[in-house]
Amino acid sequence: MSDGTRRWYGGTTSDEITDGQSDRIGVGHWAQDGIAARGVLIDYIAYCEKKGLKDNMDGMSGHAITLEEVKEIAKECNIEFKHGDIFFLRCGFVKTW
């Protein structure tokens, strides 16, 4: 794949990313061959409940979750991020929905 075209995860090209009809950037496409990795869950909602930050728990508000908050949650939970981890962030969308 050294044709000079910039490639992204799984060999996806920039053209495939910008093509609204392409299915190459969806997890469904990637999972066709299987995905194996460690999943890391950062539970922002539990963090807000613990800290009394009720205004930050609306998953549809557009509230920004900072990197510092993610790192604080990870530290409290003894989570060390590693190369290849799949990052999951519980941000309250489902609870709000």
Q: Are residues 24 and 70 in the same domain?
A: no
Same domain, yes or no, for 13 and 57? no
Q: How far is Cα 77 from Cα 91, in angstroms, rounded to an integer?
A: 17
pTM here is 0.62
Same-domain check for residues 82 and 59: yes
* pLDDT given for residue 3 in this prediction: 65
Domain total in the chain = 2
Specify whether 47 is located in the same domain as 94: yes
Query: What is the span of the domain harbouring residue 85?
Result: 37-97
* Residue-wise pLDDT tens digits, 12-30: 888 887 887 887 777 777 7
pLDDT exceeds cutoff 90 at 68: yes
- The HSE-up count of residue 38 (CA atoms within 13 Å, CB side) is 8
pLDDT digits (tens, 9 = 90+) for 19-63: 878 877 777 777 787 778 899 999 999 999 999 988 788 777 888
